[in-house]
Chain A
């Protein structure tokens, strides 16, 4: 009997994957991906697709927010509100980013009826939007808010908060409209980020001082990659608190407001091992 060579050729450099998340040293069947690696990729893509297309469980989220509001009565004095953008479904949302930036007329009226615009301004509005990853919101929003509200309560200055708002089919800029109608000095949008293959569950934060019509991304500050395997809820809250205090002090956000709280990146590995 002749001895068979293995069908899959493993790569002796696979152990390099200890130093990077890149899919290196995958081996090959002929010159193609081995079955195991092909299916691992398909699984990651399936999770990312589900993150985009599975609707946010707003009933659960609203119930959780109501509970959160009840447990923080000194900070949150109104019930949470659920709103809708002008994008009526996911397909429209994906093709018409402009519609995801505007509130539906019903939601605008509902917010206006609450009469915030006539009252004296509040310091901060927190808006949760599904964005491009319902996983990102579902897995991180409540835990992050717990951390943030604790930090806000512990802050030297007092913060008056608008009711918590959830927007379905929302883009980042919808916070401008919501914050404006809530008469808030500052708005922070918690939004599901465009899912990567290895990060389908990422939450992003966007801070805007003096939200209103006509603003662009240049007037926002962003904190990205909030998830258990990325930036932790506590660390994200600390960074946001820094930005909130600075925005309030300088009365500005976006390009002029630099995030100096960010640590410098430390080289993790052992350098360029390819060199003699």
Chain B
């Protein structure tokens, strides 16, 4: 039982999970789960009670029992008490002060990563304002590499997402070309397949591999299919760069996704054995998003933001190249409007970065959410300031396969201009070498069609334009 007195009023929270949930800024998913604070006042009281809680509490009390959940076991078994030492005496409230203070340098923040748990990070995020989440995240530097180096200071990368509703090769190639010519794709060229089978994945992997090799693009490809499909594709000698999987913060969520931690370990080993990276060996690409545990009926009464932070414990075990929180895809029953989506995006980016993950964000919304392009512009700008490692890039913001809106090739160039961000260094040099960009910093696209792509377009029959 957690108690708090305010004047002559006494408040009670039955469990640590309940205290965490009541302290969470309002969102529809917690309301749907029935764990949300009943009043605005109760929320702030819960935040005050949480602020008084020693960080050590989270090492003594599991939100989801150790015996029942392998994610809890992972969190407890991998905890490093030496790394925890510098902050071990703090309460959650003091931890916020410490994170914002000049004691918390980028080096210091990196040194405590193995000593802090997802629950500690989730707890402190609940008592931080948006600007706090941005300020601290901007101090966290996480770099990863495969054929390009992602997350260097002053850089911002993009996933080129050339999805097509029937996986049509011409359609996919057209979107890839459009993206490359707008300077997109240094984080990964990643396709969500319309047909989710091993043979289709292999076909798409081969297609992207051929393009990457022919144009010598310093990037990596990924088909976002189930981890077991990718394992089979590797067995069939398909050119797999990255292993993809959607992950959640509880064992039951992951089981509903059809995998466990052992599956991920096996897949990572298989991908590492291919030895296809040139400047690094981070071979995993994970996607997450608040609400997935509730959606799978596997949340154990824990609020959706804490479940999300626990997914980052899963991610960091496997040293991913990219972790992408797909923040607005799940729908308004979990994040209702632009305000809730914005808050969740900043929380996820902060929590992931503090835990040492290469966080990117699919800044997105569906048409039944109370959100629009202006909300996306806002979150894009905020995450750019916070130092987000990568965002999505899609033609004109319109994913014609998944039927949602995410950031466009144009959006990435906007962010690079207003915040003076550059692409990954290897990719930046390629853009200049290929005459795709006129400058050397990936900010000014050339006006003429680069020579290397003129040939490709010449292969297309004339007179079939539909506009």
Q: Which residues of A contact B (CB under 8 A)?
A: 9, 11-26, 28, 31-33, 37, 41-42, 44-45, 48-49, 51-52, 94-98, 132, 194-200, 265, 267-276
Of the A-B pairs whose beta carbons lie under 8 Å apart in the complex, a sample of 14, sorted by A's number, is A15-B460, A16-B457, A17-B465, A22-B171, A26-B395, A28-B445, A31-B443, A41-B398, A45-B373, A51-B367, A196-B404, A273-B173, A273-B456, A274-B173
> Apart from A21-B171, A270-B461, what 10 extra A-B contacts exist at CB < 8 Å?
A15-B460, A15-B464, A24-B178, A28-B445, A32-B414, A98-B32, A199-B403, A273-B456, A274-B176, A274-B211
Among A23, A194, A265, A272, max chain B CB count under 10 A is at: A272
Closest chain B residue to A42, Cβ basis? B373
Given contacts A41-B397, A95-B336, contact A274 B367 (CB under 8 A): no
B332 interfacial by beta-carbon distance below 8 Å: yes
Q: A274 is contacted by which of B166, B167, B396, B456 (Cβ under 8 Å)?
A: B456
Chain A interface main SS type = loop
- Total number of residue pairs linking A and B with CB closer than 8 Å: 186
Across-interface contacts of A273 in B (CB, < 8 A): 170, 173, 456-457, 459-460
A196 near B403 with CB under 8 A, answer yes
B395-A95 in contact (CB<8A): no
Enumerate chain A residues within 8 angstroms of B332, measured Cβ to Cβ.
Answer: 94-95
Do A26 and B410 have beta carbons less than 8 Å apart? yes
A49 / chain B contacts, CB cutoff of 8 Å: 367
CB-based contact A24/B32 at 8 Å: no
Cα-based distance from A49 to B396 in the complex (angstroms): 18
Q: B398 and A52: CB pair below 8 A? A: no
CB distance from B310 to the nearest CB of A (A): 24
A31-B414, A196-B403, A275-B210 known; A268-B336 Cβ under 8 A: no
Say yes or no: is B107 at the interface (Cβ < 8 Å to chain A).
no
Return chain A residues, CB-CB under 8 Å to B459.
Answer: 270, 273
Contacts of B408 in A (CB 8 A): 33
**A226 smallest CB distance to B (angstroms):** 15
Interface size counted on chain B using CB atoms at 8 A: 65
- Chain B residues with CB under 8 Å of A265's CB are 166-167, 195
Q: What residues of chain B have their CB less than 8 Å away from a CB belonging to chain A?
A: 28, 31-32, 162, 164-178, 181, 195, 207, 210-211, 214-215, 332-333, 336, 366-368, 372-373, 394-398, 400, 403-405, 408, 410, 413-414, 417, 443-445, 447-449, 453, 455-457, 459-461, 464-467
Q: Give the CA-CA distance A268 to B444 in the complex, in Å.
A: 34
Q: Give the 3 A-B residue pairs with the shortest CB-CB distance, closest first.
A: A269-B170, A23-B396, A196-B403
Q: Which residues of the partner chain B approach A14 to less than 8 Å between Cβ atoms?
A: 465, 467
Residue in chain B with minimal CB distance to A22: B395
Say whether B174 contacts A276, CB under 8 Å: no
Q: Are A16 and B461 in contact (CB under 8 A)?
A: no
Q: Pick the residue among B207, B400, B453 that contacts A196 (CB under 8 A).
A: B400
Q: Find chain A residues with CB under 8 A from B414 CB.
A: 31-32
* Set of chain A residues within 8 Å of B333, measured between Cβ atoms: 94-97
Contacting residues, chain A, for B467 (C-beta < 8 A): 14-15, 17-18
